[in-house]
Structure 1
Amino acid sequence: MKAFLVAASALLIFGCAKGVDDLAKEGSWEQIGYQDGVRGQLSRSYSDLNKLGAAVHSEYDSGYQRGILEFCDADFAYQIGLSGQYYTGACEGLPDGQRFRMEWQRGWNDYSH
């Protein structure tokens, strides 16, 4: 049941998410960071952010930290791997980072076979 709720929540987040360009025009740097984090992407460089507009890096970083903590839930990592989503290493250095990678790898192996 928990996996279903997490998957449904993720679908809502991604289904309703605005594009990065729109968010940058609105000045929603925290939302851009959150979306990057919750998708398991690596943090954007300051250079990449500035290409989108007059970025507020502290807001982006704050949103990214919230999002990456949600994504890096080791209890959900197996499902991420099983779904075929590639892991970028974004959880490395976090307390459960190694466990996340191991669970993701287990799911990825099942997905690949």
Structure 2
Amino acid sequence: MLLVSATFLFGCSSSVEELVRSGDWYQVGYHDGVTGHSSRSIKELNTLGQANSGDYDRGYLQGVNEYCNPNFAYQIGLSGNYYEGVCESLPDGQKFRMEWQRGWNEYSR
């Protein structure tokens, strides 16, 4: 289980800069989502380069859906990773937050 959660958190082998250079906006969005970061605005994306916001959004949603698995939330919190609230609108959002909080509390001790 730890290996699977590490894959979700660190699954992107390319840096965001490399993905932008190659024009892979889907993977930029996926990286942001699977690491639990808030979605970037179009303005933020365009500061990186000529953004394809549709591809970014599709990748972001895929990444968030993987990140927001409540079965991994405890480990995310226990690892000291801050939760930015990206799962709140999803069906298991409350369960995710509770499990993350439980791990975060242990991490903070």
Instruction: Please state whether the residue corresponding to 1:18 is helix, strand or coil.
Output: coil
Matched, 1:48 2:50: no
Give the percent of matched residue pairs that are identical in Structure 1 and Structure 2: 56
In structure 2, C-alpha distance between the alignment counterparts of 1:105 and 1:35, rounded to whole Å: 23
Equivalent in the alignment of 1:108? 104
Cα shift readout 1:13-67 (whole Å, capped 9, x = no counterpart): 14xx222122111110000000000000000000000111111100000000010
**Shift of residue 10, structure 1, vs aligned partner:** 3.7
* 2:86 is equivalent to residue 90 of structure 1: yes
Q: TM-score, normalised by structure 1?
A: 0.90
CA RMSD, Structure 1 to Structure 2 (Å): 1.4
Paired residue for 2:4? 6
CA contact (8 A) 2:30 2:63 kept: yes
Structure 2 gaps, min length 5: none
The number of equivalent residue pairs is 109
TM-score (norm 2): 0.93
Runs of 4+, deviation exceeding 6 Å: none
The Cα of 1:111 is off from its aligned counterpart by 0.9
Instruction: List alignment gaps of at least 5 residues for structure 1.
Output: none
